Every structure is written in C-alpha cells, then in structure tokens.
Structure 1
C-alpha cells in the first residue's frame, strides 16, 4: 500500500526520490519522508499530507546526500503526522517499511523494558531500535538486519540506511513486494517497476525471505529466512516506461484509463483469442474436462469481475463455480479437492488477502490460475498458469481498464472451457469469439456518451445516496457501479439484484433517491423494467441504461442512456463504461481527489 524508494547515487538523491515517490502516489498515502546520509550522518525530512508538503520542507531544508531512502505512508498504526511518518531512525540506522509487524506490541514492551523511548505510535519504530541494539552489540549491518528479521512476524518490505555507510543499503522482503534496479554505478530499490521507470528498466524482484545487500556496483541477495546463503534471482527487462504513467492531455489518470479501454481490451483479447480462426485459446496446463468445480477469489472490483465470470462459466461450460471475497475465503474453510482449480483475480498481483488465499489453496493441493495485470508479481510467480490482462499500468485508485480487461480475459477463458468440455459447438465458439472481437468498437461507441453522462452527473452530485439495480450479469455491474460512486465521490451507494428491491431496499426510495437501472434488452429485460416501474411509482429518480431496443420498449418519463446494441455475452464490459464515467464526472463536480480518494490505496498489501 505504501511506497518505498531507495537510491545509491552519484549526486544528490533527494529530488530523485521525491520524483519516484510521485509515481507511487497512486498507491494511496497520507504522509511522506526522505532520509539521506549527509557527510556520513543520517538526516530526515518528513511531512504529513501530500508530497508537495515534503517538497516545501526540502526547499527550505535541502538534503544533498548521495545515498537515501524515501517513503509514502498509508496509516495503520498511528494517525498521519510528522512523528509517525517514515523514515524512522536512530542515530545509527534509518528504515522505511511497507506492511505490518504483527508482534510489534511485545517487541515494543521488550525494548521499553531496556530503556528505549519511542517517538511515534508506529509498529515500524520497533525495527530501528532492534537493529540499533544489534549494531551496538558489535554486529555489522549485514548481520544485524537478518538477526532482527528473525524476530519479526507479519508482512513487510524494508529498506535500511546506516550511519557512515555511504556505499551500503539493505533491503528485505517478506510478503510485501520489493524490486532492485540496476544503473550505471548506481543502484535502486522500489516498491515496483513504476517507481524505478525513470532510472532503469533492469529489474530484479525479490522473493519472500530475501535480503538484498546493495552497493553502488551491484547487489548480493541472501535467503534470510533460511540459512543466509546467497541465492540467484532472475534479472529482467521491465516493460514499464515513464511515458505510460503520465496523464497526457487528460485531467486525471482515471479519465485517461477509461478512454484507453477499447485499445487495452483489444490487446487483451488478441492474447487470449485466435481471431483468425474464431477460437479461444486454452491456457497450457489447465484441463477443464477433469474439473468438477472452480473456486474463484478476489477483492473489491476484481471480486465483481469474478461474479460476472461465474454466470459465464456455469452457463457456457456447465461447471459449478464457488466465489469468495479473498479476505473471507480461509475463514469459511471450504472443502477443497486436490487437483481442483482455483482462479485468483488481482490487478497488482500483490493483494495480500488474495495471495494468502492462493497459498491456502496450494496447501490443499489445488492448481492455481491467476488473472493479473502484472505478470512479474508474486501472485503470478506462484501460480501454475498466468492469464495476463494487458492493460498497462493503472494509476487511478478506482479500477477501470483493469476491470474490463479482467472481464475480457475471463470471458475468453469461459469460452475455452465450454469448448473443451464439449458444451459449446464449433459454431457456438465462433459466434462468441466474434462478439468479443466486436467489443473494442462497441466500447469506443459507448465512450461517445460522455457528454450526456456528464450532464446527468451534475444532478447526481446533489444526492446523498443512490441505488444501482441489475439482473444476471448486470447485477455485479450494478454493484461495481455503486462501488465506483462510493470510492471517488463519497456518495453512499448500493448495488442490488433488481429482484431484491421489494425485499427491503425499496423502503429507501423517495423523490430524492437516484436509482440507476441496468437493463440490456435480453431475456431478463421485462423483469428488470417491472422493478424500475416500482421505483418510478414511488417518485424515485430513474436513470435507465439500456440499448436502442430497450429504450423503445420502456419509453417513459425518466432519463435514458442508450448504449450500442450488442450480443448479450459482452454486455458487462459495455455497461461498465457508463458506470465509470458517471462516477468520474460526479466526483469532478464535487471536487474530490479523483485519482487518490481519501483513505484508499491502490495496491492493498496488508490483510
């Protein structure tokens, strides 16, 4: 969730660190800080709030050191304040930390008993005092850090700087992601490749238990959760460029990412389909014929992608699907069959609860397939099969293009499963693939509705609550639409199955309540429209989202948003776009921080 950057450089690194931290703003944060070595001594600058507050402080009190670490913090232990901001430091060592130290209370009590006085409320401060104690006992930094890591429980990524050690930085990973970057006489550490994109495209991703000892000329990686022996890790060329993480002419990253969807969904489909033959590619290693169930698990928007996919897999492949929110999967303790298939969905590939679910499923002998946007991520590396969503970096916290790319990937996989299991004929497969091939064009047509949606959003921005209704695959899209509105406009919204309306939610309907109804003209249209009429009869402010046939059939005194007519199979990807644009323009009218909404983080790397 937080962001880490470390540089062993040739010149003043503080400006570079701040620039790299800006590229991690999408992760969500509420304070920031930098520490460098100034003539061998540790010096820090920290500030609550956005990075501009830290920049102001550095302008008044510059740091000139050639070795430094920086951090953007999303508060867990202790509120946003300068005292709680990272880096935390003693005279001898400074550290930045992503994750949570689960046993920090007992460590803190132990340190307090030895006379340590704490200056923050954080779990992280225990780490610097523990390392300082090891250094005071005569250990080298290379030995002190592993000794402390052995005492820590929880998930973390760490980067250390040491007094008097201009040519040394130590990084460690257990759970939270961390990468090492290689330069010309310079070395870098970052939470992901995006942070390091301006400096290098040569990256090594640390694995759990790794401890990296960096100098200006290279890195030595040890297995600190094992016997401390050196380990080899793959060095790869990052495909992330600095240009990909710029807004261009768009006001917000979210607007840019919504507009990119026809292109990135097209790239994703091209990977998973043989468009010339009208076939869906079956991932290597997955035998759908042998499966009697599939377990899906994900968090947030990715969970809604899984809910849509359940309809597809059960209809097209006739295979039962269980789907759980990842944070609840293990607690339900579902019986898992060895050899069965679990499909995990995660944009970042680092989502802590989803990763924990993956490992639980592996322990039960299940095969793992992951739908991820970052193929170098931990979830991808620990999976048996990777189903990439080729969306490129998604910077806006509220997921847009990642969601539709997940849906496109899962749609192609459902077709492949149906064909492999003999449920779909050759003609069925070709018809479904043809509908997916048409999808980018239909999405581009849908984006042309933005001026009308912007006008509707101006009115929605006056509301305090909203309901979203849908049936079939439109039900998860209704929930996703409500989530988008909540995330970035802070208007309370709920998504419901339209048939559930009269089982409680209709009590909320009055003349002030906006109700968004998703009703493609399909076999469920009449039932959905009847629920909409129940809302209209009670004075609710209805926005009907449908296609031209639906608009003719349900003509009435309410706002209608007409999306292009499409094959029923692909409607979730099309109807997702108006939901994104409606939330976006509502938030813009309300003046909220669209790309970095309060309290949220892009990559949730703590449970």
Structure 2
C-alpha cells in the first residue's frame, strides 16, 4: 500500500519525482524519500512524515540527477521512522530500492545476508532486496543479472524498482502488487509507478505490467521480459483521465471535490448503457442472454466495495436470483461451494485489492465464471477475471471512497437487471420507468449537493460520543457505508445496522447523546420508522434521511432531504447526504480528511 515513482529522462528528475510522490500520497503518507543518480553516485534523501516535509528538506545536490526513484510509505514492517523510510540501499550505497508489498521470506534472507557480513539499518522487509542485489554484484554478475537473481529469491508480493550506481537505468519487477510504465516519447521520458496518477500530468500513454514481468528502462526505451529474460509483449494504452481530475481544484480536500464530482461520474457510468428507447440496458460485453446459465451470484469485495456488493446482492435477491455478498478476506477461508453455473463478481475500485484478487483467483480455480467490476482499465482484476465491467468514475484520490461507491452501485444495479432478466425471464424493475429515473440520477444528486443541510447537522452533533446509522432493504448497505465513512475520517465511533437489528442488542448503547441517522428508501419505511422511534423514546436524536413530507418528519429532530425516487435509487442519493455529514463532521473536528490515520487508498497487501 505504498506509492512508487521512477523516472528516466533527459532533464532533472527531482521535481518530477516529488510531483509524482504528491500525486501518490493517497497510497501512503507516513514517510517519503527519493534517490537520484547525479554524476557522483546515488544520493538518497528520506524522512518520516508527509511529502511536503520531505520537500522542505531536499538537498540542492539532488537536483541535477536525470534518473531517480521515489517512495511514499504506508507502514507494514517497522514503524514510520527516518530509518524505515524508502529508498533503501545496500552497505555501499551503490544500490537503491523502493518496494510495495510484503516479502514473506525476508527473515530467512536477512539472516543469511547478515551471516555474510551485511549490516542492516532498518526494521523493514524491503532492505533485504538491495543487499541481495549487492551480494550478486559482489559475486561478479552484471547489474541486470544481479537484479533478476535477487528478485528470483523473493517470496510474497512485490512491486520493486531499483537503481544501480554508474548507469542511467531503472530496473523493476512485479508480483502481486501493481506497477505501470508511462511513456512520453516527446521528451524521452519514461516512468515507473504503482498507479497512473503519479505521472498523469506528464503522459497518458501507459503499459500495465503483469505478474512475473521484469522491465528495464533506459533513456532510449523500455524492455519488458519475464524473470528468465524472455521477451514479452504488453500493449500500450491511452488513459482517458484528464490530469485536472486528479487535482483538488478549488476544493479544500480531495474528498469534498470527489463528492461534488458525483453528478459527472454517474453520468459517465450511465452513458451508453441505456438504449435509445430508454427501456433497455446495453452493457458493453453482456448482451441479453449472457447469463442464462447462471444459478446464483456471489459478490466478493472489501470495505466500501463490499457495501456496494451488498447493495447488488439485495437487489438481485429481490428480483428472484440467489445472490450473496461475501467479504473477500473471509472468502479465502470459508468459500461456499461453486461450480460452472456460479457467477462470482469481484468488486474492487483499484482492481489491485489483494484480498479481492485472492478471492477471485480461488473462484477461478474452483471453476466459477468470474466478472470484475472496477474503475481501472488494465488492472490485475481485469486481466484475471473472465470478463470485466468498468465503473468509469475517473480518478479518485481521497482515501475515503465516495464517487466510486455510487458508480459501483449503479453498475451493479444495471448488471443485476441484466442477470435477473436472463435468469428469471423478466427484469426486476419496470424498465420503462426505472431507466429514465436512472438517467436523471445525476440531476438528483446535483440537487442534494446544492440544497443539503448536512454541514449544519454535522456541526450540531459533532460532540456526540457515538453515532448510529440504520436502514432496511437497500437502505441497509447505505447505513453500513454511512457509518464506515464517518468512522474513517472523523475517528469517532459509528456503527451501521439493519434497522430491525437495533432492538436485538445495539439499543442498549443508545442514549440522548447518540444521534441515529435513519435512511428511508420508500420500501418498508414503516418498519424503519418504528425502529427509529424505539431509539427516539430513549432520548436519541433522530436524523431522517427521506423526501420532504415523509411521515418520519413528524418525530424526527433533523432532516436530510432526498428526492422521492424509485427505492432502488433512493439509497444512492441518501448516501450522498451521509457522505456530506461525515465530511463536515470531520472538518469541524479538524481531522486530516484526505489522509486518515492508519489507512491507505489501495490495500495491496493481505
């Protein structure tokens, strides 16, 4: 869950590396560092803290290097200290390495290297890599062979970029962690990074590396081979993200910007997927009849994507299709039986989530049909699933997912309608009314963003010790997601429940200082209203997320208005209100909203 940037070019690398690190800071922000070739060997500067703190202390001697690597860290092995920051070097500083992932056999390797006289200065697993390379260099091997031999000894997951003294070359390899090459032939610039936003303002031409790939980047080109040195072919692709999408613009935080981008991201998600008659669904690779051989559907995902999976599973169950959402990290130890008539849908924003990829691979091995729903073209999940469906939300930098959840839920809703029609013979909704409503969803979200009372309500209850979110049916995953957003960025206790579960234990925690956010979707609202009333009689303030004129307003203490929509869509608009509540509560509490403690955007380690 760390950010890697590497660059080979014809001008100074340091500014480009620092820009790349700033663009990647959503992947990790407890330490950062850079290393460059500057004509007198490799120079390294690193420290604990944010990239901005590294920039303030950059030594001017680093500024004339044309080749360099950088890293922003999210700690797994060793605390966030100056010593544990990347890049790591060998004893002679002739080798510098940055790494994302976990080296599972690092203890064994470190013990062997120590016995050979190597001295280690950090607590990290990464430090064994430059020492391994040094060991093979000392044994007489050339630079490229030494790198390959060192990589061949690593067990676990990794994306590694290395630089060796005396040559303007970068070496990189991947296994289980993402790595992408950027090509800007106009200025002879080549990039290596863990994610496209690192270099998006410099080039939009990329090659996604696959597991087992080794790449050698020189000033005149890029060579990709397997670990044994055999040539492999990887396509060049153009990323259709506008570089400005990856910036904050006039917003104080990426999260707020991305919340307000939802009308645009939803428009992109829906575009071209509703037929001209507005009564048919047209999913790119899934025409009618694509799922006639499916008996049941399993959604596997983590975190926010799991909540989107719950949304999709509930919608399918209501349509008469056997569906279930499973946490990907539990799927590996408790996977239900699957066969060729089971459809496993892996939902992952980045397409690189380690737990979700593990579940996807297990489903593939068991013979299930697999589909991935993701935001990233060329990601590992896209390559490893049988089929894929993109959410097209654009880049999301804020650690707390916002626009990607709404786009995931919409895509899963459309996919669910296609599956339901194929399996049962009929879609679960009246498409003549549902699809026009879906087309108008971006406008409804725009209305909520313009008229929301979330900031006032968030400040009103910001001193509360605990917060509950409840919903029924499709309001339940929205309650789960609302609570997750709140705890992620406010650091306050928040829990989401199916509304009927409130009386089966959680009600014991309700006090007059426990605001309860009740989501009303227009489906079985009477039961949710009863459950909210149970909390209200214990003195809890009730915040009703519902249309104007709803019966809940007769007893609610506050109101977050949503339009009166189809129940399948109402929860998605209610979710926007809860995102705003979380944001404004965190802002009032002075939290670092885009960089919540202990969290990173893309969880690429298990």
Normalised TM-score (structure 2): 0.96
User: How much has 1:62 moved relative to structure 2?
Assistant: 4.1
**Distance in 2, Cα, partners of 1:408 & 1:380:** 19
- The one-character-per-residue Cα deviations of 1:322-380 (angstroms, maximum 9, x if unpaired) are 22111110100321113421101111111111111111111112221111111221111
The residue number in structure 1 matching 2:244 is: 243
The residue number in structure 1 matching 2:401 is: 399
CA contact (8 A) 2:29 2:51 kept: no
The residue number in structure 2 matching 1:438 is: 440
CA contact (8 A) 2:297 2:343 kept: yes
1:65 matched to 2:65? The reply is: yes
Q: Structure 2, unaligned stretches of length 5 or more? A: none
The residue number in structure 2 matching 1:542 is: 542
**Distance in 1, Cα, partners of 2:61 & 2:511:** 56
Question: How many correspondences in the alignment?
Answer: 600
The residue number in structure 2 matching 1:292 is: 295
Q: Which moved more, 1:596-605 or 1:179-188?
A: 179-188
The residue number in structure 2 matching 1:486 is: 487
CA contact (8 A) 1:212 1:221 kept: yes
1:358-437 matched pairs, under 5 angstroms? 358-424=360-426, 428-437=430-439
- The one-character-per-residue Cα deviations of 1:569-590 (angstroms, maximum 9, x if unpaired) are 2112111101100000001101
Q: Structure 1, unaligned stretches of length 5 or more? A: none
**Distance in 1, Cα, partners of 2:479 & 2:586:** 18
* 1:425–1:62 CA distance, 2 compared to 1 (3 A): closer
**Distance in 2, Cα, partners of 1:368 & 1:275:** 29
CA contact (8 A) 1:453 1:578 kept: yes
Q: Which moved more, 1:384-393 or 1:181-190?
A: 181-190
**Distance in 1, Cα, partners of 2:372 & 2:276:** 23
The residue number in structure 1 matching 2:513 is: 512
The residue number in structure 1 matching 2:451 is: 449
User: How much has 1:82 moved relative to structure 2?
Assistant: 0.7
**Distance in 2, Cα, partners of 1:378 & 1:597:** 26
1:89 matched to 2:89? The reply is: yes
CA contact (8 A) 1:375 1:381 kept: no
The residue number in structure 1 matching 2:166 is: 164
CA contact (8 A) 1:180 1:187 kept: yes
Q: Which moved more, 1:121-130 or 1:271-280?
A: 271-280
The residue number in structure 2 matching 1:328 is: 330
* 1:257–1:275 CA distance, 2 compared to 1 (3 A): farther
SS of 2:64's partner is coil
1:94-493 matched pairs, under 5 angstroms? 94-165=96-167, 167-183=168-184, 184-224=187-227, 227-282=228-283, 284=285, 287-316=290-319, 318-424=320-426, 428-450=430-452, 452-493=453-494
The residue number in structure 2 matching 1:79 is: 79
1:592 matched to 2:591? The reply is: yes
User: How much has 1:86 moved relative to structure 2?
Assistant: 0.3
- The one-character-per-residue Cα deviations of 1:391-450 (angstroms, maximum 9, x if unpaired) are 100111111100000011011111122222344269822222122122112111221233
User: How much has 1:282 moved relative to structure 2?
Assistant: 4.5
**Distance in 2, Cα, partners of 1:65 & 1:553:** 64
Cα RMSD after superposing both structures: 1.6
* 1:517–1:112 CA distance, 2 compared to 1 (3 A): same
Normalised TM-score (structure 1): 0.96
SS of 2:502's partner is helix
User: How much has 1:61 moved relative to structure 2?
Assistant: 5.7
SS of 1:421's partner is helix
**Distance in 1, Cα, partners of 2:428 & 2:479:** 32
**Distance in 2, Cα, partners of 1:202 & 1:516:** 45
User: How much has 1:13 moved relative to structure 2?
Assistant: 0.8
CA contact (8 A) 1:28 1:599 kept: no
The residue number in structure 1 matching 2:565 is: 566
